[in-house]
Amino acid sequence: MLLKAIEHRWGYDFQDYARASIKRRIKNSMIRHRINHISEMIPRVLHEPGFFQDVVSDFSITVTEMFRDPHVWSVLRQKVFPVLRTWPYFKIWHAACATGEEAYSMAILLDEAGLLERSIIYATDFNDHALKTARDGIYSLQALRKASDSYLKAGGQYSLSRYYTAHDDYARIIPRLRKSIVWSNHNLVLDRVFGEMNLILCRNVLIYFTQPLQNRVLELFCSSLTRGGFLCLGSKESLSFSSVNDCYDPVALKDRIYRRMRCDHLHPADFLQGHQPAVTNTALSRPSKAFGAWAIGCSWGGIDALHKLLPTLPADFPLPVLITIHVGSGSEGSMAEVLQQGCVLPVKEAEAGERICPGTIYVAPYNHHLLVTENGEVGLSEDILNQNARPSINVMFESVAEVWRERAIATLLTGANGDGLDGLVKIKEMGGYVVVQDPLEAEAPAMPQAAISQMTPDRVLSLSRMVGVVKSRANIFATINYDN
């Protein structure tokens, strides 16, 4: 009802945002405004413009920084810029640009490549407050100094300080760069084709959309790109599960850079007339048929615990396994490869939008919350930290509880902080099954001990007994007809 009220009064449609993510953002807004029930927000959204603007700002994803993922910028400079150079002029669209750091990063690299004068850079977002920050080009001096290292790794030729003027505790992008970008309000959910672009960047936005909306937006990009144009997505996003996958050739698959070589079945006129092209892969719209899920959370000592637990999973294990493990800063890399050692089941880093299948182990990516959509697909989020953690065990458990309810199994292993307890409580409230590692064998017993002392787990088990108990429980799920 709240989302309907927002659409009816203000024209913003958030109903196809990933439900688990939007619920977390509504909860954050409720805490800030000291609201106890979602229903209390509805009259305020309808009648208080200031309140609405504040709420909609919570829905907007503004996590960004200058030269974020510098290796991606290096690949753009090496593989995309040479093609842009062959055109007499070209257009670039930074979709969902948030506070604009990414657009300025592009302008800087184009300037150093001698291409800025031949380009038109468009940067759009639906959040007017974020756009104002972007237009002003005023950022934390500390943040820009921190970005200097990423700038050099991206192939920067000078010092980043060349492109801003420093003040007491803030810095402002130089006027020449600010004037090189056209800032505009554009809503990816509702608005239409945005010109004929040679390069579109939309990074770390699609992870917050449901699969149908992801397809809608990707088809919009396809129709907005000239033939031979490039698309750059976020590191945890992919075309693999989309309706436009066959339209592109990979340029740098690891860096999520693609080139549109086909797409004749989509035409800009379709979007100008309000037509939404159908999802070509009908399997995308079918709900998951998994009989449940096993969600595992751990922190300190978790890798050793998982190395003992996961290899005991048999090839016929009937559930998908979702894992959130806390890792320290600077640990970005493939945790899936580490955990695959000795496992019969495939272990993979979770990708936004992929269908969750039984017999597969999904690991939360570095610095991303792992969630589950209502259709049993992977959702990822860069939302605020929970219990000082991202990825957060609580976030994963709560999401699993809402999707699988009594078919959810949650396990808390070794760890030294408070993450996971609230999620276990949610699992129990929804009728799920809670298993906690025996604190006596945990390398860091604080996490499982807190669960035992503050709630009543269904079982407290050693790692050696855990898989047998969970599989027996999963076999019960398989005998129940949940379709009715």
The answer to whether residues 381 and 458 belong to one domain is: yes
The answer to whether residues 74 and 53 belong to one domain is: no
- What's the CA gap between 186 and 354, in Å, rounded? 27
The answer to whether residues 74 and 44 belong to one domain is: no
Domain-embedded: residue 282: no
The answer to whether residues 261 and 354 belong to one domain is: no
Instruction: Convert the pLDDT of each residue in 355-380 to its tens digit.
Output: 899 999 999 998 899 998 877 888 88
In this predicted structure, the answer to whether residue 272 has a pLDDT above a threshold of 80 is: no
Domain-embedded: residue 283: no
In the block, tokens 């939007």 appear at 22
In this predicted structure, the answer to whether residue 282 has a pLDDT above a threshold of 60 is: no
Domain-embedded: residue 40: yes
The answer to whether residues 135 and 253 belong to one domain is: yes
Question: 334 vs 76, which has greater pLDDT?
Answer: 76
Ranges 189-198, 248-257, 311-320: which has the least confidence? 189-198
CATH number at residue 205: 3.40.50.150
448 preceded by a cis bond (ω within 30 of 0): no
Give how far Cα 249 sits from Cα of 45, 85, 223, 225, 230, Å.
44, 20, 16, 14, 10
* Helix/strand/coil for 169: coil
Q: pTM surpassing 0.75?
A: no
Side chain identity at residue 466, one-letter code: M
Beta-carbon count within 10 A of 44 CB: 16
Instruction: Convert the pLDDT of each residue in 29-62 to its tens digit.
Output: 898 889 999 999 999 989 998 888 888 777 766 6
Ranges 12-16, 24-28, 69-73: which has the least confidence? 12-16
Q: Are 124 and 194 in contact (CB under 8 A)?
A: yes
Side chain identity at residue 410, one-letter code: A
Q: Taking the mean position of all CA atoms in its chain, how far away is CA 123? A: 20
Nearest to 191 by CA among 216, 208, 227: 216
Segment (H or E) for 141 = helix 141-153
The answer to whether residues 97 and 35 belong to one domain is: no
The answer to whether residues 263 and 317 belong to one domain is: no
- What's the CA gap between 247 and 338, in Å, rounded? 34
- What's the CA gap between 18 and 372, in Å, rounded? 9
In this predicted structure, the answer to whether residue 108 has a pLDDT above a threshold of 80 is: yes
Beta-carbon count within 10 A of 117 CB: 9
Average pLDDT over residues 121-129: 90
Instruction: Convert the pLDDT of each residue in 199-232 to its tens digit.
Output: 999 998 888 887 788 888 999 999 999 999 999 9
Give how far Cα 82 sits from Cα of 36, 87, 96, 250, 259, Å.
55, 10, 25, 16, 14
- What's the CA gap between 186 and 228, in Å, rounded? 24
* pLDDT value of residue 447: 94
- What's the CA gap between 83 and 279, in Å, rounded? 31
The answer to whether residues 262 and 121 belong to one domain is: yes
DSSP letter at 386? B
In this predicted structure, the answer to whether residue 328 has a pLDDT above a threshold of 70 is: no
Domain closes at, from 217, 241, 272: 272
Domain closes at, from 238, 272, 306: 272
Domain-embedded: residue 284: no
The answer to whether residues 319 and 348 belong to one domain is: yes
pLDDT class for 347, splitting at 50, 70, 90? very high
In this predicted structure, the answer to whether residue 275 has a pLDDT above a threshold of 80 is: no
> In terms of residue numbers, what domain contains 420?
293-478
Average pLDDT over residues 83-105: 94
**Sign of torsion, CA 468 472 475 480?**
negative
- What's the CA gap between 240 and 258, in Å, rounded? 12
Side chain identity at residue 30, one-letter code: M
Question: 327 vs 396, which has greater pLDDT?
Answer: 396
The domain tally of the chain equals: 3
DSSP letter at 79? I
- What's the CA gap between 69 and 154, in Å, rounded? 8
* pLDDT value of residue 479: 64
Instruction: Convert the pLDDT of each residue in 417-460 to its tens digit.
Output: 889 999 999 999 999 999 999 999 999 999 999 999 999 999 99
Domain-embedded: residue 104: yes
Segment (H or E) for 135 = helix 128-136
Count the alpha carbons within 13 Å of 73 in the hemisphere toward its beta carbon.
27
- What's the CA gap between 386 and 370, in Å, rounded? 12
In this predicted structure, the answer to whether residue 263 has a pLDDT above a threshold of 80 is: no
- What's the CA gap between 315 and 440, in Å, rounded? 29
Q: Are 369 and 395 in contact (CB under 8 A)?
A: yes
Ranges 3-12, 187-196, 401-410: which has the least confidence? 187-196
Domain-embedded: residue 285: no
The answer to whether residues 266 and 175 belong to one domain is: yes
The answer to whether residues 375 and 236 belong to one domain is: no
